[in-house]
């Protein structure tokens, strides 16, 4: 495992990948001593990118399709139950007419509940292949919170205005409102899940977004590194500076040897230097 980690790090250190968000172009390069191998590795990265792109996209669409298919069956079953309840209630009590404003409120509340249910279904489907840190996952969570707040506000307003209080109307009327709200909710949920299922089916059929290779990697004719010209120039300059420094030192020593006092100081320095070497030894 250690060798694999070292090899992976070495490969990544030699990899040069850049993405242009404006054009959508990804440039991949690889540095290696062997020009042929550098081209082969760069092309291998592109091939792997294609494979992962196709595999992940198809897997995601297939997972969502299967999930929404199951949810759609459940929603259809609950819709049939709601329709039977509404039909049975109407047979027992007869037709009850609601005011247009009350009908509108019931439909709006049912649609909001259905939107929340649909978003929760999307979140559940996404949780099979994404983490809560995923930006899209967080976006759906925020959408659910917003819809729930809107629903809470709408229900409060409806109870105080459009929908009469259950305590102030006959029990049969209150049951009818609940049954109609449930029926509208189940219809809306089924319709939304059906759309999600159809979208997932289309996405699965389309497959992954196309990755087109604009310019395939070929063995380079010009060496990128090491930059020998630069190394030669730097080495020459360094040698020149060192030689100048040595020349200055020699000249300074010669001047000191010509002066009596400086010569004595130089001898003293040499004695201290030789004494230091003897002490260390």
Residue 230 has pLDDT above 80, yes or no: no
Per-residue pLDDT of 9-19, as tens digits, reads 888 888 888 87
Whether the Cβ atoms of residue 65 and residue 52 lie closer than 8 Å to each other: no
Residue 1 has pLDDT above 50, yes or no: no
Query: In terms of C-beta density within 10 A (0-12 exposed, 13-18 middle, 19 or more buried), how is residue 202 classed?
Result: exposed
Residue 168 has pLDDT above 50, yes or no: no
DSSP state of 19: E
- Residue 142, pLDDT score: 93
Kindly state the tokens that stand for 83: 């329709």
Half-sphere exposure of 113 (CA within 13 A, CB side): 17
276 or 152: whose pLDDT is higher? 152
Distance CA 45, CA 24 (A): 17
Residue 245 has pLDDT above 60, yes or no: yes
Percent of the chain's residues with pLDDT above 70? 70
Whether the Cβ atoms of residue 219 and residue 38 lie closer than 8 Å to each other: yes
- Residue 209, pLDDT score: 58
Whether the Cβ atoms of residue 59 and residue 142 lie closer than 8 Å to each other: no
Residue 41 has pLDDT above 90, yes or no: no
Percent of the chain's residues with pLDDT above 90? 16
- Residue 143, pLDDT score: 93
Once rounded to an integer, what is the mean pLDDT over residues 236-255?
Answer: 77
Per-residue pLDDT of 184-195, as tens digits, reads 899 999 999 999
Domains of the chain, residue spans:
2-49, 64-206, 228-280
């Amino acid at each position: 495992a250690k060798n694999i980690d070292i090899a992976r790090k070495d490969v990544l250190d030699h990899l040069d990948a850049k993405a242009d968000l404006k054009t959508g172009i990804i440039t991949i390069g690889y540095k290696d001593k062997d020009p042929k191998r550098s081209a082969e590795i760069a092309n291998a990265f592109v091939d792997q990118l294609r494979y992962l792109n196709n595999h992940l996209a198809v897997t995601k669409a297939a997972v969502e399709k299967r999930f929404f298919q199951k949810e759609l069956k459940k929603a259809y079953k609950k819709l049939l139950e709601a329709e039977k309840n509404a039909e049975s209630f109407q047979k027992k009590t007869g037709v009850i007419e609601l005011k247009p404003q009350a009908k509108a409120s019931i439909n709006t509340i049912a649609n909001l509940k259905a939107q929340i249910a649909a978003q929760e279904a999307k979140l559940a489907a996404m949780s099979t292949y994404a983490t809560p840190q995923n930006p899209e996952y967080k976006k759906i969570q925020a959408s659910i919170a917003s819809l729930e707040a809107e629903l809470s506000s709408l229900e409060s307003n409806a109870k105080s205005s459009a929908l009469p209080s259950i305590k102030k109307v006959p029990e049969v009327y209150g049951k009818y409102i609940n049954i109609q709200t449930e029926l509208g909710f189940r219809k809306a949920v089924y319709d939304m899940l059906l759309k999600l299922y159809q979208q997932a089916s289309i996405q699965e059929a389309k497959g992954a977004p196309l990755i087109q290779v604009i310019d395939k990697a070929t063995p380079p004719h010009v060496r990128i590194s090491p930059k020998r010209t630069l190394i030669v120039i730097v080495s020459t300059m360094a040698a020149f500076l060192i030689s100048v420094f040595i020349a200055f030192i020699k000249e300074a020593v010669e001047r000191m040897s010509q002066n009596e006092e400086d010569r004595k100081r130089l001898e003293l320095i040499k004695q201290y230097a030789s004494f230091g070497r003897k002490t260390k030894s």
